[in-house]
Amino acid sequence: MTTRRDVNLLSRIDPMVRLLALAIALALLLPVRGPAREVAQFISNAAVFLLFFLNGLRLPRHEVAAGMGNHRVLWPLTAWVFGGMALAGWGMWQLGQGWMPPLIALGFLYLGCLPSTVQSATAYSSLAGGNVASSVVAAALLNILGVFVTAPLFSFLAGGKEAAFHADGLVKVVTILLLPFVIGQVLQGKLGGWVKDHRPLITWFDRASIAIAVYVAFSGAVEQRFWARIDAPGWVWLAGGTAVLLAIGHVGAWLVGGLAGVDRPDRVSMLFAGAQKSIAMGAPLATVLFPPAAAGIVLLPILLYHLCQLVMAAPLAARLNRP
């Protein structure tokens, strides 16, 4: 019997975490198979297209321009997210050769190349006394850059046929991620007000789009019986590697803020924007870059990292906000 304490505990879990857990459970119990996979992939791609279209509608053009002018925050943060963290992921991938399951190791490299979150980085920056405006603009711009940077950067660092970024992959990235964002920016004057008036609905659509991408990716992994491809040491490596990258991400982002010489509110903003990684970019892009059998396994590091970063963020924000 469910008690009130159980209900209260469940309500305290981040809605995105609950939805991701539901998507994974559904993929384990009822994976999409055979001819239905193409239909599911089309639905996932359409949902991702709409997700980035809505992102284009939401982010004001003047904020993009202002954020580009805050060089003391933007450029060190960009260098850390796509430089320092990408190299950390590459190092984990190299160390995992012969020790980790190959796709788990590749997943750490993929994790390192992803941009930061937008919503949670902004929310926790606010709780920690950070510069909210800097958080919104920096995280949003990092995600825009991620459309251009993540896939080719990952391919360059990984090398080999398994991570090659071909012209068809570029077309998919541009068509599904970049094009809808640009259309959203163009139509912002006409539809931006509607998005502001329906924020709860848009938020849930964001989450649902990500969950659909995770469900489709994990269905492919379930069909390939991924649990038989990852032994007990592999799961230990997954947990240990995630912990190491979490530590590198947070310590590194804080030190970069100090070296940049920004004030404390901007440094707090750089911490959350620099350490957190985006499942909103990671899940949809994985379904574009990797075959169905591999995408679900490659996503395991970012899924665990995403869960852990949310668990860490609340107490860390409370600690930073103390006088």
> Quick check: is 4 in a domain?
no
* For residues 154-175, average pLDDT: 65
Query: Nearest CA to 58 among 111, 122, 146?
Result: 122
Give CA–CA dist 171/60, Å, rounded. 26
Residue 224, pLDDT > 80, answer no
Q: Which domain holds residue 242?
A: 17-320
More confident residue, 308 or 133: 308
pLDDT of residue 7: 44
pLDDT of residue 223: 72
| 3 state SS for 154-216 | HHHHHCCHHHCCCHHHHHHHHHHHHHHHHHHHHCHHHHHHHHHHCHHHHHHHHHHHHHHHHHH
Query: Nearest CA to 102 among 237, 216, 217, 218?
Result: 237
pLDDT of residue 252: 95
Query: Nearest CA to 115 among 90, 64, 150?
Result: 150
Phi, psi of 30 (to 5 degrees): -135, 65
Maximum Cα–Cα distance across the chain: 59
pLDDT of residue 254: 94
pLDDT per residue as tens digits for the range 49-75: 887 787 777 767 766 666 566 678 888
pLDDT band at 297 (very low <50, low <70, confident <90, very high): confident
pLDDT of residue 110: 94
Lowest mean pLDDT among 86-90, 170-174, 189-193, 288-292: 170-174
* For residues 180-197, average pLDDT: 79
pLDDT of residue 170: 57
pLDDT of residue 218: 72
pLDDT per residue as tens digits for the range 84-119: 999 999 999 998 887 888 889 999 999 999 988 766
pLDDT band at 10 (very low <50, low <70, confident <90, very high): very low
In the structure, how many helices (H) and strands (E) does the chain have? 18, 0
Residue 263, pLDDT > 80, answer yes
> Quick check: is 1 in a domain?
no
Residues 6 or more apart whose Cβ sits within 8 Å of residue 256: 76, 77, 79, 80, 84, 270, 274
* For residues 291-313, average pLDDT: 83
Give CA–CA dist 276/121, Å, rounded. 7
Residue 79, pLDDT > 90, answer yes
pLDDT of residue 82: 94
Q: Give percent of the chain above pLDDT 90.
A: 16
Q: What is the CATH number of the domain that holds 207?
A: 1.20.1530.20
> Quick check: is 73 in a domain?
yes
> Quick check: is 3 in a domain?
no
Query: Nearest CA to 278 among 130, 81, 137, 129?
Result: 81
pLDDT band at 9 (very low <50, low <70, confident <90, very high): very low
pLDDT of residue 6: 46
More confident residue, 246 or 45: 246
> Quick check: is 7 in a domain?
no
pLDDT of residue 87: 96
> Quick check: is 50 in a domain?
yes
pLDDT of residue 67: 56
Q: For tokens 């505990």, name the residue.
A: 9
> Quick check: is 221 in a domain?
yes
Domain count, the chain: 1
* For residues 165-191, average pLDDT: 70
> Quick check: is 151 in a domain?
yes
Dihedral angle over CA of 95, 98, 104, 106, nearest 10: 60
pLDDT band at 151 (very low <50, low <70, confident <90, very high): confident
Give the DSSP per-residue string, 212-265.
HHHHHHHHHHHHTTGGGTS-HHHHHHHHHHHHHHHHHHHHHHHHHHHHHT--HH
When the pLDDT of each residue in the chain is averaged and rounded to a whole number, the result is 79
CA 210 vs. chain centroid, Å, equals 10
